[in-house]
Amino acid sequence: MAEKQKPVRLSSRFLGPYRWVLYAIYISIFGSIIIGSFGKGWFYFAGQTALYGYILFMLVRLIHKLEQVSFDDDFLYVLQKHQDYIIPLENIESIKIESLGGVYKVNLYNAEQLGKEFYFKTSLLYPLNAKKKDALVNVARKKIALAKSRRQQLPHNALMS
């Protein structure tokens, strides 16, 4: 019997501290914009608060969706603080890059407890080590394609017992 392969980490291991640093940076920038617009009138202050508050909300929401991800020959592992998820590679529709910063989006055929999609960041230094990290994501894509080809395809009118 073949030995089980050790899972390969796709995402950065420093994702937790990265989140908190980005939260602090975003909140300090937002606070400085609000303080700077305070003396220019009430209407200007309200407009700036609403605009940059919405941008802050969208950025924090994106950072909050980042997950720690590993994979092996059969499964994709999503590691969270309180619970880990195991997703069969056959259930993954695609892995696509979403931003120039190295954020990838994983689309699923069937919704899991995480939802129909989730995100991961390959490296904090992504533009500098893009070739190495993209090669690792391509290995994951090849394993997904292999798992899909091994999946048993049933005819649409098959009777299940």
User: 6 pLDDT exceeds 60?
Assistant: yes
Q: What is the pLDDT of residue 2?
A: 61
CB atoms within 10 A of CB 141: 14
Pick from 64, 66, 58, 65: nearest CA to 122: 66
Q: Model pTM?
A: 0.76
Q: What is the pLDDT of residue 115?
A: 86
Concatenating the DSSP letter of every residue in the chain gives -PPPPPPEE-S-TTHHHHHHHHHHHHHHHHHHHHHHHGGG-HHHHHHHHHHHHHHHHHHHHHHHTB-EEEE-SSEEEEE-SS-EEEEEGGGEEEEEE-STT-EEEEEEEEEETTEEEEEEES-TTTTTTHHHHHHHHHHHHHHHHHHHHHSPPPPTTPPP-
Percentage of the chain beyond pLDDT 70 is: 93
Q: How far apart are CA 115 and CA 14, in angstroms?
A: 24
> What does the pLDDT look like over 77-88, one tens digit per residue?
998 888 889 999
Q: What is the pLDDT of residue 48?
A: 87
Q: Starting at the edge strand that comes first in sequence, how are the strands of the sheet with 115-121 ordered?
A: 92-97, 103-112, 115-121
Q: What is the pLDDT of residue 150?
A: 83
Q: How far apart are CA 81 and CA 96, in angstroms?
A: 25
* All structural domains of the chain: 7-150 (2.30.29.30)
User: 131 pLDDT exceeds 60?
Assistant: yes
Average pLDDT over residues 127-142: 88
Q: How confident is the model at residue 44 (pLDDT cuts 50, 70, 90)?
A: confident
Considering only residues 129 and 106, tell me which one the structure prediction assigns the higher pLDDT: 106
Q: How confident is the model at residue 64 (pLDDT cuts 50, 70, 90)?
A: confident
